[in-house]
Structure 1
Amino acid sequence: MSHYPDLSPYSYDESPRAMLNVGWLHPKHGYATGVVDERVVQALVILSAAYENQMRGFHRCEFCDTDRVSVCGGPNGDTRVWLGSAEIRVKGEDGTIYAAPNLVIHYITAHRYCPPERFCRAAVEAAGIDALGPLSLVE
């Protein structure tokens, strides 16, 4: 997968919308680690069923040898979503749109990736989850 620093301008694919990258990780580049509130993971799982920029193939995690990863996403948790083949896009309260590969869920849960706080807040808000207090803690 391509690497793009967090909060850099989105350029993976052509889009008429200005967006910022989140979670485009690669083993040759470091990334923020820490504790991410379970509400963020829950929100991303919910949002994963409304994927954008679906690809024909899929990307495996380059940090581990895990086989294809899937989650049961959507508001009711009844939609199987294969991670590594699409993007999750969320809009922050200030209008900023964030684009993350849906594999970001695996990066958070398996590799301690800690996305930027404002992306976490936007995801939780977009999924309709109560967001009191801090949502991530970078170590």
Structure 2
Amino acid sequence: MTHYPDLSRYSYDESDQEMLNVGWLAPEHDYRKGLVDERVVDALRALSVGYDYQMRGIHECEFCGTDRPVILGGPALDTEVWLGSAEIRVRGADGMFYAAPNLVIHYITEHRYCPPEEFCRAVARTVGIEPGEHLTLAE
């Protein structure tokens, strides 16, 4: 998978909507680590079930070599979802769109990746969660 810095302009595929990148990680690049509110993780799991923005090919985790991690996702968090071949896109309150590989869930839960606060707020907003003051705590 290609690395893009967080909040850089999205250019992975053609889209007529301006978006920002989140969670396009690679081992040779440092990333922000910390804690992410469990509500954000559950919201990402809920959003992952549709395999929206399916891409060609499958990407394994380059940090631990896990091939196609599987999570429980969907509204009831009871549907098997394979990670590594789709994106999750969300819209922030300011209208900005964010695009993340669905592997972002694995990166958060297994590698302590801490996405930008504005992305976490957009995720929460998308599923109807009223976020508190902070949804992330970076180290």
Q: Is the 8 A contact 1:50 1:88 kept in 2?
A: no
For the 8 Å contact 1:49–1:73, the answer to whether it is kept is: yes
Contact 1:35 1:138 in 2 (8 A): yes
What fraction of aligned residue pairs are identical, expressed as a percent? 67
Which residue of structure 2 aligns with residue 15 of structure 1?
15
TM-score, normalised by the number of residues in structure 1: 0.95
CA drift of 1:109 comes to 0.4
Secondary structure of residue in 2 paired with 1:81 = strand
| CA RMSD, 1 decimal | 1.1
Question: How much does 1:65 deviate?
Answer: 2.4
Pairwise mapping of residues 1-139 of structure 1 onto structure 2 (< 5 A)? 1-139=1-139
Q: Deviations over 1:95-132 (max 9, x none)?
A: 00000000000000000000000000110111122312
* Separation (CA, whole Å) in 2 of partners of 1:37 and 1:77: 16
Question: Residue 32 of structure 2 contacts residue 138 of structure 2 at CA under 8 Å; is this kept in 1?
Answer: yes
Structure 2 SS opposite 1:100: strand
Runs of 4+ in 1 over 4 A off after TM superposition: none
